[in-house]
Amino acid sequence: MHCYRVEPGQAAQIAARDTRDVQGFPGDKRAGKARIKELNAQLEALQEVLYAEGKHKVLIVLQAMDTGGKDGTIRHVFDGTNPQGVKVASFKKPTSSELAHDYLWRVHNHTPGSGEIAIFNRSHYEDVLVVRVHSLVPEHRWRRRYDHINAFEQLLADEGTTILKFFLHISKDEQKARLEARLDEPHKQWKFAKGDLAERELWGDYVEAYEEALTRTSTESAPWYVIPADRKWYRNLAISTIIVDALTRLGMKYPDPEDGLDDIKIE
Ligand code: AMP
Ligand code: MG
């Protein structure tokens, strides 16, 4: 799955990447789903020891175009983990109080504490994406944000946070199909926002904004991964694999028990 990493200092090259790529897994969808089950069990075990050890912090950032699959990723990849140690923060249009502060103010409060996994469903990256595409602040202001973001994430990393950032990469055709499904299926209509159509017209502007954001902010401490996301099973598999690998590398262990537990008899 290493091929999906945006190497620090190199262009993300989003447009050149295949949204249907499956080269990271040799099997078909059925085999893929079986593998995801195994990865779910591994992640469940890793999250338990992360929580018990209480040493490391883990931040997962999810960004995508509309319908890119952020919600489905959270549901499937973290299936089976303990809600006590996993928290999701969804970043919507800023409130007036949030807008009255710097753009990282609302974000910092949701970063993970020791032993926790925090999942960002959208993030501070909106402040160089939607904000850029819609000129919500002047260019000279959003342009300085790449440096702020790198410094902010370096601070989190220096203080013990493992950061993994995922761009769920779908094609424009796949978005069309998913928007149509939202219109057609009564249980999905709540997700359809007419505003998404206006955003869809700005597809090229968003690709440009993502390209620069990922290129400028993929670092050793906080790398970006461009995940082929037209196939949901493959998206889940790729993200699960990358998270499990990263958590395994932390070499976590359960805290040593107190001395003398062997002699204890509970009356
Ligand atoms: P959804 O993810 O469908 O619930 O939509 C959330 C909306 O909030 C999206 O349209 C985002 O672009 C928007 N949003 C999130 N963060 C910001 C931000 N910092 N500035 C402006 N809009 C934002
Ligand atoms: Mg939406």
Neighbouring C-beta atoms of residue 222, cutoff 10 Å? 22
Structural domain includes residue 218: yes
Atom of ligand 1 nearest to the CA of 129: 12
Sign of the torsion angle spanned by Cα atoms 206, 209, 212, 218? negative
In this structure, the residue with its CA closest to atom 1 of ligand 1 is 92
Which H helix or E strand runs over 246? helix 232-249
In 3D space, the residue among 265, 159, 267 whose CA is nearest the CA of residue 222 turns out to be 159
Structural domain includes residue 265: no
Structural domain includes residue 153: yes
How many domains is the chain built from? 1
Structure tokens at 217: 């902010």
Residue-level pLDDT, tens digit, the chain, 267 residues: 999 999 999 999 999 999 999 999 999 999 999 999 999 999 999 999 999 999 999 999 999 999 999 999 999 999 999 999 999 999 999 999 999 999 999 999 999 999 999 999 999 999 999 999 999 999 999 999 999 999 999 999 999 999 999 999 999 999 999 999 999 999 999 999 999 999 999 999 999 999 999 999 999 999 999 999 999 999 999 999 999 999 999 999 999 999 999 889 999
Structural domain includes residue 187: yes
Structural domain includes residue 155: yes
Cα–Cα separations (whole angstroms), residue 226 to 25, 83, 102, 164: 16, 27, 28, 11
Atom of ligand 1 nearest to the CA of 127: 19
Backbone phi, then psi, for 260, in 5-degree steps? Answer: 75, 15
Q: Which domain holds residue 219?
A: 2-250
Indicate whether residue 207 lines ligand 1 (CB < 6 A). Answer: no
Ligand 2 mean position to 147 CA, how many Å? 28
In 3D space, the residue among 2, 1, 5, 8 whose CA is nearest the CA of residue 220 turns out to be 8
Structural domain includes residue 6: yes
Structural domain includes residue 261: no
Ligand 1 mean position to 93 CA, how many Å? 4
Backbone phi, then psi, for 56, in 5-degree steps? Answer: -95, 155
In this structure, the residue with its CA closest to atom 15 of ligand 1 is 92
